[in-house]
Structure 1
Amino acid sequence: MIRNQDQILFIFLFIFILVGCQSEEALEVNETREEEYVSFTLFSADFHSQWDYMESPVSQVVQGKTGVKIEAEFDVNGGEQKIALMAANGEYPDLILPKGSASTLVDTEALIDLAPLIDQYAPNIKELYGDYLDRLRWSSEDPSIYILSTVSIDHTYWAPDNGFLLQHDVVKELGYPEIRTVKDFEEAIRRYKKRYPTIDGEPTIGLSLLADDWRILISTTNPAFYATGASDDGEYYVDPETYKATLHYRRPEEKEYFRWLNHMNDSGLLDPESFVQKYEQYLEKISSGRVLGLIDSEWSVSDAQRMLREQGKENRMYGMYPVTLSEEYNHPNFQDTGYLGGWGVGITVDCEDPILAIQFLDFLASEEGQILQNWGIENKHYQIIDGKRVISEEEMFQRNHDSNYVKKTGIGVLDSIAPSYGDGVKDSTGQTYTIASPDQIIDSYTSIEKEVLRSFGVSMWKELYPPKEAFPVKAWGSAFNLSIDPNSQLAVINQKALEIVKERIPEVILVEPSEFDSVWETFMNELLDIGIEKAEEEYSRLIKERMKLWEQS
C-alpha cells in the first residue's frame, strides 16, 4: 500500500516537474519568437488615420507569418520636407513611400534596385504585376525598379472618387432635381439653405472647401479639371492629341470655374472658413451634419461620412454627382489611365535585411496576404460556407458603421503600403480578392441612399457618370506621378507656381466680383514671370519620354 502511494507520489512529482520544464521551455520558445521579430521602420508621405501600430488581430497574424513588425511614421504634410531632410542627412527608414519625392531619393542613391530581389525572393509580387512589371522601370537610361507601385492591379472602379457631394436630405427635400451642372448644384444648396437656415441649432453652411496645405489641390483646385471635362494630371493639363502640357489654371475654361466659386462666395453660399480651417476642423464640421455641399475626393471625406452614419445622421450623408461647369463637358472620373507605375513603396540602402523586407511585401501580395487585408481572419471576420467566404450581417454592419473598424480589426491597414489586387480580380477559388462588388456595394448603402438612387433611376452612384468607354485610354497614364528631378529647373518653377497658386486661388475666390478679372490677370502674369512656359515644355518632353518607355515594355 505504502509502496503504491510512493509510486503515485513519484508519478505525480514526475508529471509536475515535466510540465514545469515544458512550461519553461514554452516560455523560452515564446521569448525566442518575440526576439525573432524584426522591426522595420517605415515613412509614408501620406497620413494614415487608421494605423493600428500592428496591434490589431490581422496585423498580429501578419507579424506572426512574416516575422516582421512595422514601426511607421505617416506625414500630414505630404512628406517633401522630411524626405529632403533625410536626403541631406543621408539617413533613411528601412521602407519608404515617398509619393512624388522618389526622384530625391533616387538622385541621392537612397533606394535599392528591387528587380533582382523580386526575381529571387518575390514570386507573388512578380505574379501580381505580371506584364505591368516593366512599367515600374525608372527610365530608358536606368531600367532599375526603385518603387513598387501601390496602385491596385486591374482595378474595376465600382464607385466614383471625384465629384460634387450633396446631402441626401437636400435632394429629397427638393423633389430630386437634376444635379448635373454647377448651376444645378448651387440652386439646390440655395433653396435648401433658405428653407433651413439652421441645422441642429447651428447655422447651415452651403458649400465648404478645404485649403489646408497640400489639400488645397484636392478640394479647391483639382476639381477645376473634372468640372471642365479633363482628368486629373497633377498641376498640368495634357492635350490628348498633341500631348502638350499646360499648367491647368491657364486654360480659359478653368478661369470660368473659379469665377463660379467667386460667385458662390459673393452669394453667401461658401463657408467663410474654407481657406483657414484645418483638416480636422473640416471633418468635424462635416460630421456635425450642417454642411450641405462639398467638392472633394471620396477618400478625403470618408471618415466624416462614417461618423455621420455612426451618429444615425444618414440623411446628412452625401451622394456624389458628376457636376461640370456646363452640359458641354462630361465628367471624366472613370477615364481609363492604364496601369500606373510611379507612386508606391521602396526599400532604402539603410535597410539591413532587404531580403526579409521584400519577403514581407511579397507576403502581403500573396493570396493569403490579400485575403487577410480584405476579408480578415477566418471564423473571426468571415466564415467559409459552401466553399465561399461569407461575411455575416453583424460583421458587415460593423464594417459600414464603425468609423474605427479598420484600426480595430487591421483589415486594410497594410493595404496602402504594398502591392495589391484591385476590385473584381479573382483568386484561385474564383472569388474576388476584395469584398467590393456591385451587390456588396448596394447592400452597404443606407435606406435613404437607396431611395435617392432609385429616384434618379439608378442603383449605384457610378451609373450617374459617363462610363470609361466614353473616353480614350490615356496613353501617358496620369502625369501627376512623373518622376521629376528635384534639383531641375522644372521642379523649381513648379514650386514657385504652387506658392503662387496657394496665394492667388483663395484671393480670386474671395475678391469682389468686379475685381475678379484683374486679380486673375495678375495671377496669370506671375506664372509667366517665373517661366511657366519653359516648365510646360519640359513637362511635355517628360510625358513623351514616358510614352516611349512604356512602348518598349
Structure 2
Amino acid sequence: MTKVLPRYTESAYTVSEFRGSKGVVTQMINHKKIAAVSLSVLLAATAVGCSSDKQPEAGTAQESAGAADDKTPVTFTYFSFSKEKDVNSNETVIGKELEKQTGVNFKMEFAVGDSKTKSGVMIASGDYADVIVPEGEIDKLLDAGAFIPLDELIEKYGPNIKRVYGPYMDKFRQEDGKIYHLPFSANQGYITDPGISQGAFWIQRSVLKEFGYPTIKTLDEYFDLIKKYKEKYPQVDGKDTIGFAAFAGVKDNFFALTNASMHLAGYPNDGGVIVDMKTHEAKVYSAGEYEKRWIKKLNEVNAQGLFDPESFTVNKDQYLAKLTSGRVLGYFGYNWLVGDATNNLKKAGVDEKRYAPLPIVFDKDIKDQYLDPPAFVNNRGIGISVKAKDPVRIIKFFDNLLKEENQILVQWGIKDQTYTVNEKGRYVLTPEMLKKRNDPEFKRSFGFQYFEYSWPRYGNNSILKDGNSYGVGNQPEVAEMDYTEGDRKILQAYGAKTFADMFSKPDDRPWYPAWSINLGQGTPEQIFGQKSQDLQLKYLPKLIMGSPDAFDGTWKEYTTEFGKLDSKTYEETITKVVKNRIAGKW
C-alpha cells in the first residue's frame, strides 16, 4: 500500500511506498536474530587478517578517538533516497557554519532512478555511506543490518539528542529494544500550519476568478467548473488547455493518484487504510467503493477530454513543467511534492496561474479531513551505517545540530541575513528575505534545501523556547507577509484569514499516521502491500483511459485479482497497532 510522509517545511518532501524484497532477499541479513553468529564471524575475520573491515563498538576504540571535541577537518559520506542535487555540505552557507563548529563536512549524494533497485544493490554489495536517510527503504536496510545501534552513543555523547527525543524514545525502538535511527518529527510544543503543505484538490486561480469565486465542495462541482472553463478557453498560448493532470508516471509517486479516494471520503492520509473513528478498525480502501467512485469519475473526465493523456508517462520534471505552463486547470496532490513549480509561479508573478487548495469531498455531507492532526512518524529518519568511519564524531555532529541555536540556523538561517527580529522578539522576514526564501536555487546554495528536513531535528510544528515558531512557514507574521494580493483576494472571497481556514479542523487521531507502522520485510503484510500496489499500477491506467463501456468489466477483473490477496491479515495487523497506539503502546 502506498504511504506518504507528512512534511510541513517549504522544501520538497519525500514519498515512498511499501517495497518488496524480491530479487535481493537472499542477500539480506537480519541483525536482530543472529547476534551470536555475528560475534563468531567477527572473531574469525579478525583471525584471518580482516581487521580492516571490523567496525569498532561505540564507546571503545572510537571513544578514545572522539572523546575530546575534535575539530580536525573530516568528510563523511551521506546518502539519501530522496531526490535532490548532490553537494558537499560545506558548499552551502549552513553546512559551512556547521563545519566551523565541528570540523565535519558531508559529501551528500541522492538517489537517482528506482529506490528499490538502489537499496538492493547497496545491500548486496555492502557498500554503505557513513550516514543514510533510507526513506521508504528503511525496513529493508534495517533487516539487512545496515545500521549500528545508537543507544550507547546517545547515552555518552548525546545530551541534546536525549533532550529532543526523550519523550519519544520508546516509539522508535526496534524489536530488539535498540535505536537504529533518529526520526524527523520530535515536536517541541505544537503550533498549527496556517498553509496547505499537505494534500488538496488544487485549482488554477483563473478558474475561480472567471466564475466569481464560487463555493465548490464536491468532486462533481470541481470538475464541472473545470469543464466550463476549458470550453471557454480551449487553448493557452496556442496549446491545448489541460483540464486535470495526475502525477502517476513515476512509481514512487503513484500515491498522488491513489490517495485521493480516502481524502474524498473524508479521511486524512493514513496510507493504505482508512480507520473508523468509533471502532478503530482499519480497512483497505483499494479496490473498494471509494476507489471505484474516484477512478470511475476520472474515466468519465477522460472521456470528456479533460484528463491529461500523459499522466501515466511523465516524469517529475515534465509534470512540474506542465504545472508552470499555465495550461493545467486542476490536479490532486501534496504541496511539498510540487514545491518548485508553485514557488516558480509565485516568483514569476503570474498569480492567476497559481493554484488554490480546495477541500473537495464526494458529497456535501462529508466532513473533509485533509489537515493532518498532531503526529509522530517513527519509521522515517537518519541512521549511522555499519561502514561509518567514526560513529562518535558523527553522533557528536548530530547532537550539536540539535542545539536550539543550530535548529534556528537550519530553519531560519542567520539573523539579519535571512531573518530579523522585531521589537516584540518575533522572527520576521523583510520583503527581500522573503523573495530569497521563494527562490529554489537560493534555498540550495544557502543550505535550507539540504538541512531543514533530513537530519536530526525538531518536529515541523515545534515552538522555540522564546515562543517563535520552529518552522518559518508556521510563523503567523511570515504566513501573512507571504500572501500576494491574489492570495488575499481569494481568502477574502471565502471568508478566511489563512488557507487552512478553508478546511475543517482535524479530528484527534492518537495513532496517526497509520502508514508509519513498521511491517517489516517479507511479512504477509508487506507482501500484500507490494502486490496490491502492483495491481493498481496495472489496472488503474486501463480503468481511467479505457472506454466507459469497458469500465465495469475491467473493474471486475481488477477486484477479482485483488480478492486473491491477503487483505484480512494486513487489516488485522494495522488495527492491532492502531489500538495499541491509542492505549499508548507504540
Match of 1:7 in 2: none
Match of 1:60 in 2: 96
Question: Offset at 1:345?
Answer: 0.8
Match for 1:260 among 279, 285, 297?
297
One-letter identity of the residue aligned with 2:228: R
Match of 1:143 in 2: 177
Say whether the 8 Å CA contact 1:497–1:530 is kept in structure 2.
Answer: yes
Q: Quick check: 1:318 aligned with 2:355? A: yes
Listed as ranges, the gaps of 5+ residues in structure 2 are: 1-68
Question: Offset at 1:385?
Answer: 5.1
Match for 1:516 among 527, 536, 551?
551
Say whether the 8 Å CA contact 1:156–1:423 is kept in structure 2.
Answer: no
Match of 1:201 in 2: 238
Match of 1:180 in 2: 217
Say whether the 8 Å CA contact 2:77–2:106 is kept in structure 1.
Answer: yes
Match for 1:399 among 437, 447, 470?
437
Match of 1:3 in 2: none
Say whether the 8 Å CA contact 1:170–1:192 is kept in structure 2.
Answer: yes
Question: 3-state DSSP class of the match of 1:112?
Answer: coil
Query: Residue by residue, what CA displacement relative to the aligned partner does 1:291-343 show, whole Å, maximum 9, x if unpaired?
Result: 11111100111111111122221210111110111123222122425322111
Q: Quick check: 1:107 aligned with 2:146? A: no
Listed as ranges, the gaps of 5+ residues in structure 1 are: 1-32
Change (3 A) 1:508 1:54: farther
Change (3 A) 1:143 1:545: farther
Q: Quick check: 1:269 aligned with 2:303? A: no
Say whether the 8 Å CA contact 1:104–1:485 is kept in structure 2.
Answer: yes
Match of 1:70 in 2: 106
Q: Quick check: 1:439 aligned with 2:477? A: yes
Q: Quick check: 1:453 aligned with 2:453? A: no
Match for 1:500 among 535, 541, 547?
535
Match of 1:15 in 2: none
Change (3 A) 1:389 1:491: closer
Match of 2:41 in 1: none
Change (3 A) 1:208 1:333: same
Match of 1:340 in 2: 377
Match for 1:487 among 522, 526, 529?
522
Say whether the 8 Å CA contact 1:209–1:219 is kept in structure 2.
Answer: yes
One-letter identity of the residue aligned with 1:403: P
Match of 1:327 in 2: 364
Say whether the 8 Å CA contact 1:423–1:432 is kept in structure 2.
Answer: no
Task: Single out whichever of 259-268 and 375-384 deviates more from structure 2.
Answer: 375-384
CA RMSD of aligned residues (A): 2.4
Change (3 A) 1:35 1:122: closer
Change (3 A) 1:203 1:340: same
Say whether the 8 Å CA contact 1:206–1:293 is kept in structure 2.
Answer: yes
Change (3 A) 1:427 1:542: closer
Question: 3-state DSSP class of the match of 1:206?
Answer: strand
Question: Offset at 1:83?
Answer: 1.8
What number of residue pairs does the alignment pair up?
513
Match for 2:74 among 23, 35, 38?
38
Question: Offset at 1:286?
Answer: 0.9
Query: Residue by residue, what CA displacement relative to the aligned partner does 1:375-409 show, whole Å, maximum 9, x if unpaired?
Result: 21233223455455443221112223x23221122
Say whether the 8 Å CA contact 2:88–2:107 is kept in structure 1.
Answer: no
Match for 2:162 among 109, 126, 132?
126
What are the equivalent positions in structure 2 for 1:333-482 lying under 5 Å apart? 333-384=370-421, 386=423, 389-400=427-438, 402-422=439-459, 425-436=462-473, 437-468=475-506, 471=507, 473-482=508-517
CA radius of gyration, larger in: 1
Query: Residue by residue, what CA displacement relative to the aligned partner does 1:331-360 show, whole Å, maximum 9, x if unpaired?
Result: 212242532211111111111211111121
Task: Single out whichever of 115-124 and 339-348 deviates more from structure 2.
Answer: 115-124
Say whether the 8 Å CA contact 1:100–1:481 is kept in structure 2.
Answer: no
Question: Offset at 1:111?
Answer: 1.4
| TM-score, normalising length: structure 2 | 0.82
Q: Quick check: 1:251 aligned with 2:285? A: no
Question: Offset at 1:439?
Answer: 2.7
Query: Residue by residue, what CA displacement relative to the aligned partner does 1:74-132 show, whole Å, maximum 9, x if unpaired?
Result: 22556222222222222321111112322222222221222222222122222222412
One-letter identity of the residue aligned with 2:502: L
Task: Single out whichever of 455-464 and 512-521 deviates more from structure 2.
Answer: 512-521
Query: Residue by residue, what CA displacement relative to the aligned partner does 1:433-474 show, whole Å, maximum 9, x if unpaired?
Result: 332322311211211121111111112110011112xx2x22
Q: 1: distance between equivalents of 2:310 and 2:455?
A: 37
Question: 3-state DSSP class of the match of 2:270?
Answer: coil
| TM-score, normalising length: structure 1 | 0.87
Larger helix percent = 1
- Percent identity, aligned pairs only, is 30
Match of 1:94 in 2: 130
Q: Quick check: 1:81 aligned with 2:83? A: no
Change (3 A) 1:240 1:45: farther
Match of 1:21 in 2: none
Task: Single out whichever of 378-387 and 108-117 deviates more from structure 2.
Answer: 378-387
Q: 1: distance between equivalents of 2:115 and 2:538?
A: 21
Task: Single out whichever of 337-346 and 317-326 deviates more from structure 2.
Answer: 337-346
Say whether the 8 Å CA contact 1:176–1:452 is kept in structure 2.
Answer: yes
Change (3 A) 1:52 1:289: farther
Question: 3-state DSSP class of the match of 1:319?
Answer: strand
Say whether the 8 Å CA contact 2:514–2:578 is kept in structure 1.
Answer: yes
Q: 2: distance between equivalents of 1:363 and 1:439?
A: 29
Question: 3-state DSSP class of the match of 2:440?
Answer: coil
Question: Offset at 1:216?
Answer: 4.2
Match of 1:5 in 2: none
Q: 2: distance between equivalents of 1:444 and 1:359?
A: 36
Change (3 A) 1:55 1:127: same
Q: 2: distance between equivalents of 1:77 and 1:474?
A: 35
Say whether the 8 Å CA contact 1:484–1:491 is kept in structure 2.
Answer: yes
Query: Residue by residue, what CA displacement relative to the aligned partner does 1:7-65 show, whole Å, maximum 9, x if unpaired?
Result: xxxxxxxxxxxxxxxxxxxxxxxxxx999322221221221369675412222112221
Change (3 A) 1:201 1:547: same
Change (3 A) 1:182 1:202: same
Say whether the 8 Å CA contact 1:374–1:412 is kept in structure 2.
Answer: no
Change (3 A) 1:403 1:52: farther
Change (3 A) 1:247 1:428: closer
Match of 2:195 in 1: 159
Q: 1: distance between equivalents of 2:145 and 2:582?
A: 25
Query: Residue by residue, what CA displacement relative to the aligned partner does 1:257-290 show, whole Å, maximum 9, x if unpaired?
Result: 1111111111111111111111110101111111
Task: Single out whichever of 487-496 and 535-544 deviates more from structure 2.
Answer: 535-544
Q: 2: distance between equivalents of 1:443 and 1:379?
A: 17
One-letter identity of the residue aligned with 2:306: L
One-letter identity of the residue aligned with 1:235: G
Q: Quick check: 1:47 aligned with 2:83? A: yes
Change (3 A) 1:237 1:49: farther
Task: Single out whichever of 317-326 and 417-426 deviates more from structure 2.
Answer: 417-426
